Amino acid sequence: MKSKKFTDEVNLKITKQLYLHSPFAIFSTIFNTIVVVIVFYNRTSHDVLFSWAILSISYLIFRLFFARYVIKTKITLSNLKKRLDQFTLTICISGIIFGSAGVLFLSADSPAYNSFIFFLMGGMFAGSMGAYAINQRVFYVFSAPIILPVLFYSFILGGTINTAMSLMGVVFIMMMVGVVRRMNMTIIDAYTLSIENKILAEKTRNLNEKLKFSNANLKSLSYKDTLTNISNRRFLTEMPTPEIERFGYSLQRSIGDHQRNTNNKDANLVYGVFIIDIDLFKQVNDTWGHKCGDLMIIQFVNVIQSLIRKEDVLCRWGGEEFVVILKRTDPDYIHLFAKKLMNSIRATPFILSDSVTINKTCSVGYTTFPFFDNLPSALSLDQTIELADQALYHAKEHGRNKAVSAEYNIAQGEIINLDDSIAMMKDITQALANKKILHTERC
């Protein structure tokens, strides 16, 4: 069973259609009024004929302006009943005025003219189905005053032709009433389906918006480290990588166009790639427990965040290791940042409980992207991180509490080519042994 709100929505749509279609029906009735005047001009009193025509046309013009007024002021659920009752009343009066022609102009001695009146009123009756079948009450209050007076008066006038037309008229009305009912049911079903589809589409749209929002939240959560609320390793591999590698391709194109250091504003900037490891972090967990270890990590992250910009990237690489990417910065600042980071960690007292405060150091491996000045797109971000990781390994193997940079050892005038870079990345250990890649302790 449909709710009252749903039924009102259907009636609202129907009432709007009634008003929207009424101007076409009004112009049709005006045309028929003029036809009656022409046909009966020499058959009836001019006073009666013109009085009827003026009344009919004047009222039709009033209906036309009223319909336009209602359409302009809009039909809403709050004024729905009022507007539907107004339309029903105005259409009933219109039917009475036009239907009175059947009584005024029928005569016992004019079968041909009587047939015209029957044809005209029957046509109006049938035509009203197309305009008003969407509401049976409106159809009946308009059609009944048009067709019934003609039938009754023709039957009263008597005669074979008049009586036969009256009986045929009754059969015609019965047939049309059946057709109207079926049309009305079909139209109502169509309107109901239209509104149901609209409601369903709205619900689907709302559900899709909620789903998008939920998916966005889930995706955002999937990029977050639950302990520190900073980005995780998945974020680093999926989000900044395209931007950083596009930067390398852009520099590569600028070199090909001989624009480096001239037109390209990014030509002298780099990305700093750092991997940071808390020294001997396992001792914290083993001595004071994992809860204290978590507090240590959270405070460690806070120190790093205080040193980087909002646009820079900080992510938890795993356990007590973190990755920092400084975006588009001066190459000289890369080493300065490593020093600032080391000094800040050394100077920070890490509070693990009310009674436990410790100092810690960290080891840092870092490098720049692009790694090769003359071949910016040769290495991917992943490969650059691997170079920083090798530098971190060097720092840890040589006593920890160090910042070690991975740098390409380029001879004076030497230009790296793509084959050399590929070979170097295939065997970083060999490149280190050959001193093509240098690990330099900076602090």
Residue 260, pLDDT score: 46
Return d(Cα 290, Cα 19) in angstroms, integer: 75
Give residue limits of the domains in the chain: 4-202, 231-441
Residue 411, pLDDT score: 64
Strand partners, 272: 326, 368
Decide: 277 and 392 in contact? Cβ < 8 Å.
yes
What is the 3-state secondary structure of the chain? CCCHHHHHHHHHHHHHHHHHHHHHHHHHHHHHHHHHHHHCCCCCCHHHHHHHHHHHHHHHHHHHHHHHHHHHHCCCCCCHHHHHHHHHHHHHHHHHHHHHHHHHHCCCCCHHHHHHHHHHHHHHHHHHHHHHCCCHHHHHHHHHHHHHHHHHHHHHHCCHHHHHHHHHHHHHHHHHHHHHHHHHHHHHHHHHHHHHHHHHHHHHHHHHHHHHHHHHHHHHHHCECCCCCCEEHHHHHHCHHHHHHHHHHHHHHHHHCCCCCCCCCCCCCEEEEEEEEECCHHHHHHHHCHHHHHHHHHHHHHHHHCCCCCCCEEEEEECCEEEEEEEEECHHHHHHHHHHHHHHHHHCEEECCCCCEEECCEEEEEEEECCCCCCCCCCCHHHHHHHHHHHHHHHHHCCCCCEEEEEECCCCCCCCCHHHHHHHHHCHHHHHHCCCEEEEECC
Residue 263, pLDDT score: 52
Q: What is the CA radius of gyration of the chain?
A: 45
Segment 73-82 long-range contacts (CB within 8 Å, at least 24 positions apart): 75/12, 75/15, 75/16, 75/19, 76/12, 77/8, 77/9, 77/12, 80/8, 80/11, 80/12, 80/15
Return d(Cα 353, Cα 357) in angstroms, integer: 7
Strand partners, 441: 404
From the list 285, 274, 277, the residue with the least C-alpha distance to 335 is 274
Task: Per-residue pLDDT tens, the chain, 443 aa: give them.
Answer: 556 667 778 888 888 888 888 888 889 889 999 999 998 888 888 999 999 999 999 999 999 999 999 989 888 888 989 999 999 999 999 999 988 887 888 776 777 788 888 888 888 888 777 778 788 888 888 888 888 888 887 778 777 777 877 787 788 778 888 887 887 788 777 777 877 788 788 888 888 888 777 676 666 667 888 899 999 888 887 767 777 877 877 777 666 655 444 455 566 889 999 999 999 999 999 999 999 999 999 999 999 999 999 999 999 998 999 999 999 999 999 999 999 999 999 999 999 998 999 999 999 999 999 888 777 777 888 889 999 999 999 999 999 999 999 988 876 556 667 777 777 777 777 777 777 788 888 87
Residue 155, pLDDT score: 78
CATH code of the domain occupying 231-441 = 3.30.70.270
Return d(Cα 126, Cα 142) in angstroms, integer: 11
Phi, psi at 379, each rounded to 5°: -110, 145
Return d(Cα 82, Cα 79) in angstroms, integer: 5
Angstrom distances, CA of residue 73 to CA of 67, 84, 120, 385:
10, 14, 35, 67
Residue 224, pLDDT score: 87
End-to-end CA distance of the chain: 79
CA 96 to chain centre: 52
Place of tokens 């001879």: 411
Task: State the amino acid at position 15 in one-letter form.
Answer: T
From the list 334, 143, 371, the residue with the least C-alpha distance to 244 is 371
Return d(Cα 412, Cα 415) in angstroms, integer: 9
Place of tokens 């929207």: 20
Residue 259, pLDDT score: 46
